[in-house]
Structure 1
Amino acid sequence: MLGAVLSEAQQYRAARAQKYWQLMRNGVSNAEACRLLGMHRRTGTQLRQASNFQIPPITAPAVTAGRYLDARERLRIADLLRLGHSMRRIAVELGRHASTIKRELDRHRDAQGVYLPRTADHDARLQRARPKVHKLAANTRLRTLVQRKLNRFWSPDEICGWMKKTYPDDQTMRLCPETIYRALLLREDHGLHQRYATKLRTGRRIRKTRWRTRIGQGSRIRNMTMIGQRPAEAETRLEAGHWEGDLIVGVGSVSAMMTLRERKTQYGIIVNLPLDHTAASVTAAAISAFAKLPTHLKRTLTWDQGVEMASHEELTKKTGVPVYFAERSSPWQRGANENFNGLARQYFPKGTNLAVHSVEHVSHVMRELNERPRKTLDYDTPAARFKAEHTGQAPALR
């Protein structure tokens, strides 16, 4: 609708009302204003009642109709185009930015380059209509691929980054991680069944704020070297061989697994500890893991202040790897390892017995995790990056 057309009587009454209020602004009484305009006093009283006996302020007409172009502005654009005006001059006439006019013409010109204002207004209203069909609901191929990757415990960010790298020229195979999260965690039908929410790292069907932090004092470890004394190269991730470690514990704190993660390549190692996680067991597992690595991949190890690392001096003596300790209740100082623990928990959930997993199964999970693309690696895999570092053929930094 391009706007209501007033009848002659309506136009006359509107013009008379404007003159009436102008006389009132000049200090003329209601009776005198009605006499000068040739109307009954009751008509003037009705006008005053309609405005709550307040003289309406003088308002300048709006230059534009708001955020979006309206039908009247589109008609003016068409008229000015026929007069040969440039887009910048049209923008000045309408009080709009020149880029607004350019986008309007780019979107709504037909194949012959003709701009039709009524068609443009109709199409614009349809384009602004909400809600739109969700991308995962409309694209069966895309939805199937996302579901397959979710079944392999890939995160939404890994899925989106992998698709961008695998289908660089296919825009229909692009989406952002938030699209997947909203499809999984909102009740509306966005194309993914909520059962796939259990494939996320948290396993939750709702979002939960991260407000909890670890507390407690615990036992002290002797002769600790704190993280502040760790070489700067470990922080920059420009040099391979700097590791972070921790334990994930099973039900009843009986069984456990030791996890190690290299900071530069994001490569992770998991060692099952089915019987106990004493300092002796953890130290022996770490020595065994580091024994398979070349010297240039054994530079530092960062751990929290858990008592399982009480024999850190023996570990350093046997492997040559100095151990540095993070501050208490500061898991972000070992962010790479905390992230890896979260990935591992998808396969080894909390509250379960970790002793039931065989060595072969743990090795399979470790291989699965190291063959998943990582955003921090430009969606390369940790396994590929670690292999390149192991052979001394690391790719150049981009």
Structure 2
Amino acid sequence: MARSGKPTTPTKVKALFWDQIRAGLNIEEAAETIGASAPSCRVWFRHRGGVKPPRGYGHSTRYLTLDEREDIAIYTGQGRGVRDIARRLGRHPSTISRELARAPRAPEAVRPSRPAYRASVSQADADRKRHRHRPGKLATNLALRREVQARLKLNHSPEQIVHRLCEDFPEDPEMRVSHETIYQSLYVQGRGGLKRELATHLRTGRSLRKPHRTSEERRGRIPNMVNISQRPKSVEDRAVPGDWEGDLIIGTVESGSAIGTLVERATGFTMLLHLPGRHGAEEVADAMIAKMGDLPDQLKRSLTWDQGSELSDHGRISEVTGLDIYFCDPHSPWQRGTNENTNGLLRQYFPKSTNLRKWGPGYLDKVAAELNGRPRRRLGWATPAEALDKLLSEHGQSPGVATTA
């Protein structure tokens, strides 16, 4: 920017050039439109590394880039307002306003009340502030550190410590700390304050922190899965048989054992999958295909499962059995309420913390038959087997299938 306070011609020309590029013109067309030389425009383009598409307010990038700061310098030189600049960059107006307010004062500023904005100076200042070391609160506050350490040794969780500090020191703002700060001090080297050995007093007892996965990362375990939100509304009515819910009940960790459970939504009719070895995707698919093989097509409409990796081979199951398979949302067991209730009943036969491998397929069929022969309140005290046969007869299927399934 010149000392007169007006933008120089090259600055105006560059701004027009980038406007043409964003409008979809190539370098030569943009150069011809603004009356500049094509070689100069190519230099500008190479210097900036091309054009980044405008970004919405919700973009994940937190900080302004050097490219964006150069654009801010150009647009402020043109006299554009904060909201106009924000719209052009796809940023929130407050982001631009704060950037201009905290920008270092340039030596060639004409008016001290409104100093000139320089992209390189602002970027260097932002980099310096971002990388400066600030000691953690637990590293500098000895009294707070002692309190946190003493409570950790009593096996209090960080969340319990945070709330009790507020209760025990209501008038002392220095005795405040977040549970995340405590975790960071325990697990992140350089945050200081707490000894790594204190992590053994946490409930997990881990020496390293286990990262939380996002719901998107969890979904990535199962290819081509269809969410329960796309399941037909007719499944909710429970008027037609053939819609199933499924899950695994797990034995002891040492045994690595499991039993597959399948429950028909309309009647509560139950089938159990024998998994004598592993309960991976291949084993679960083989057991389900075998168990479903003797059922009539009318009873193979849909299956709803959670997002466990044991159903990663759902494509093969669907292809062989004809089932439409849907997956529940993470941490939403109520979306398989019938199956969750049945799994609770099954714990009468298969208690938790036991080795489930000792039960053979004959015993599993016996347990399923007992459950299917129990009168249920929601069925008017009919049994699941009776209710299923009744529904099948009403829909044109010969009765007696439930007793042979």
Structure 1 length-normalised TM: 0.44
- Structure showing greater radius of gyration is 1
Structure 2 length-normalised TM: 0.43
Asked which structure has the greater RCO (Cα within 8 Å, sep 6+), the reply is 1
